[in-house]
């Protein structure tokens, strides 16, 4: 029973996040997710509808290739509208050449990549496939993740890449944002930067790196990018950190306030939750990768 790891990139604009969802039609309309209903993904329960998710689309493509009912498990549950350059997922399938099912080990992973991509829509692509050990788990063996958040800082709005940046009109003090970011590096209780209902047993996480950089792109216009690397992130944590740093950049908060916000463990003291548009999952790293790969 070979197990394969997939590295996946996607434009999250027209997806209702990574994780499969099958609400009732009424529920999907109430939450505004009804526009993401995917008629090609028919739930077993006739009272429910399948939303268009990355997991659902990739899993359907994999099942068509291996001709088995496999489950594709992803490492990060990105929200609706969030993009990814390095999502990781894995699945186990049969390897029976005679039965014409599964994907036998003797077949190349390059061929597997091409086969799955041939079944996928234009807004998601498999970058790489690799044979891994039976115990490889995309979530359980994850060591670090990195996200980026990109702002378009100008009076004029972005056009061609408007789906991948968040527009901020006010001129931002990037140096103050970078100073504020330093307070968040290390192991802390990030309750102040987690959405309610996050569902985690602990809000303690470790941030290994957090930087804010600026690139001028024209007169009065710049791209400001926040890069954050940690051992894991709470629901909306990166977007709330970004919103807090934007408040600092605008002068609504001082750089020195972030330490007190962190220590308060009070969500109401942090900044707003930014929209998903500018957020991208950059990469995921694993413990002892050589031991996991066959």
The CATH number for 64's domain is 3.30.70.580
Q: The domain containing residue 7 runs over which residues?
A: 3-140
193-208 average pLDDT score: 89
Confidence of residue 289 (pLDDT cuts 50, 70, 90): low
What lies within 8 Å, CB to CB, of 108 at 6+ separation is none
**Final residue belonging to a domain, choices 140, 160, 178:** 140
**C-alpha 158, offset from chain centre:** 22
Structural domains in the chain (count): 2
**Final residue belonging to a domain, choices 122, 140, 158:** 140
CB 289 within 8 A of CB 88: no
pTM for this entry = 0.92
258-263 average pLDDT score: 97
In-domain check, residue 263: yes
In tens, the pLDDT along 18-36 reads 999 888 888 888 778 877 8
Q: Is 125 exposed, middle or buried (0-12, 13-18, 19+ CB in 10 A)?
A: middle
In tens, the pLDDT along 127-144 reads 999 999 999 999 988 999
180 and 279, same domain (yes or no): yes
17 and 115, same domain (yes or no): yes
CB 148 within 8 A of CB 227: yes
Is residue 68 scored above 70 in pLDDT?
Answer: yes
Active site residue 170: no
Is residue 293 scored above 50 in pLDDT?
Answer: no
Closest listed residue to residue 242, CA positions, set 213, 273, 264: 273
Q: Which two tokens stand for residue 288?
A: 């002892």
Q: Exactly one of 38, 79, 189, 257 is catalytic; name it.
A: 79
């Amino acid at each position: 029973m070979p197990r394969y790891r997939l590295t996946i990139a996607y434009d999250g604009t027209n997806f209702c996040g990574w994780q499969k969802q099958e609400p009732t039609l009424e529920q999907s309309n109430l939450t505004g997710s009804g526009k993401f209903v995917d008629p090609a993904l028919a739930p077993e329960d006739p009272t429910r509808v399948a939303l268009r998710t990355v997991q659902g689309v990739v899993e359907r493509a994999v099942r068509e290739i291996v001709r088995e009912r496999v489950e594709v498990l992803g490492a990060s549950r990105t929200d609706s509208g969030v993009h990814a350059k390095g999502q990781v997922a894995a699945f186990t399938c049969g390897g029976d050449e005679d039965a014409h099912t599964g994907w036998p080990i003797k077949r190349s992973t390059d061929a597997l990549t091409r086969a799955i991509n041939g079944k996928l829509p234009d807004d998601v692509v498999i970058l790489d496939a690799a044979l891994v050990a039976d115990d490889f788990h995309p979530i359980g063996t994850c060591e670090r993740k990195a996200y980026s958040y990109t702002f378009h800082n100008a009076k004029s709005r972005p056009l061609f890449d408007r789906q991948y940046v968040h527009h901020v009109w006010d001129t931002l003090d990037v140096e103050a944002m970078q100073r504020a970011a330093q307070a968040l590096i290390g192991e802390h209780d990030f309750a102040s930067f987690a959405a309610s209902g996050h569902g985690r047993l602990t809000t303690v996480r470790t941030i290994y790196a957090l930087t804010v950089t600026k690139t001028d792109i024209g007169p009065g216009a710049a791209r400001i990018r926040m890069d954050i690397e940690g051992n894991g992130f709470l629901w909306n944590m990166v977007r709330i950190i970004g919103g807090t740093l934007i408040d600092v950049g605008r002068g609504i908060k001082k750089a020195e306030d972030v330490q007190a916000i962190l220590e308060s463990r009070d969500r109401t003291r942090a900044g707003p939750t930014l929209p998903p548009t500018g957020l991208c999952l950059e990469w995921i790293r694993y413990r002892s990768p050589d031991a996991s790969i066959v």
